[in-house]
Structure 1
């Protein structure tokens, strides 16, 4: 098999580095979920972060954002309600729909974990130039937007 050319080599390197990054991210997400609540599924952590950042959302919007079906979202929301982290309220724009939001308990727990994560990034990237951190954030945003298409 011939050795890969320059561009192909770069994409192989990208694939390898993303694989390592995603493996670490999954592991970190599991840890962060447990810090929010010992019984929290790791997949639900992203849902809590979305609610923290965007406020009240319909379950269908959350399902679309996370990339799961309505039944899966309903199960996750029920579990989060049982843990006291989220609550539902009727959507004033559509009486058949519900809006989901973090409870005060949920907001406090998620905020504490997110702050600890940011502090960890500050510590781990202390030897980075702030412009490098900004460039990494910009490139990750660009990658995420490209993946949405």
Structure 2
């Protein structure tokens, strides 16, 4: 590949990441006015992956356990998640969305997806699928 292709990739990824940070802040506020944008990702992961240990969340996001613990406490205070004993290991607990947390998150997620559908309405479905496939591949790096 040419150097220009990697420069273009860097430029586009930088723009995408800046927009993603701004969007996370906006979405977090829609879920709950007191929700930090960094904690929004935890809701995404819990909704898609189900109940998880804090250590698994730390590993998934590549952050320390202290960071995860702080975010989980904040989410608990807002009534969006709860902890329960892990049935496979009584010493550990599983973090899960509360019914309120799940309802709030899903409402915001559906509005976000509707925005994607509207913004990409002129795209052929195959291109949308290809973009998703390539982003998935990039995220596995």
TM-score under structure 2 length normalisation:
0.98
How far did residue 92 of structure 1 move? 1.3
The size of the alignment, in residue pairs, is: 141
How far did residue 9 of structure 1 move? 0.6
CA deviations over 1:97-126 (Å, ceiling 9, x no partner): 000000000000000011011000000001
How far did residue 77 of structure 1 move? 0.4
What are the residue-to-residue correspondences of 1:1-149 with 2, within 5 Å? 7-145=2-140, 147=141
> How far, CA to CA, are the matches of 1:97 and 1:14 in structure 2?
42
> How far, CA to CA, are the matches of 1:143 and 1:69 in structure 2?
23
How far did residue 142 of structure 1 move? 1.0
Q: Point out the structure with max Rg over C-alpha.
A: 1
Structure 1 unaligned blocks of 5 or more: 1-5
Structure 2 unaligned blocks of 5 or more: none
> How far, CA to CA, are the matches of 1:135 and 1:71 in structure 2?
37
CA deviations over 1:61-117 (Å, ceiling 9, x no partner): 011111111111111100000000000001111111000000000000000011011
SS in 1 for 2:82: strand
How far did residue 43 of structure 1 move? 0.5
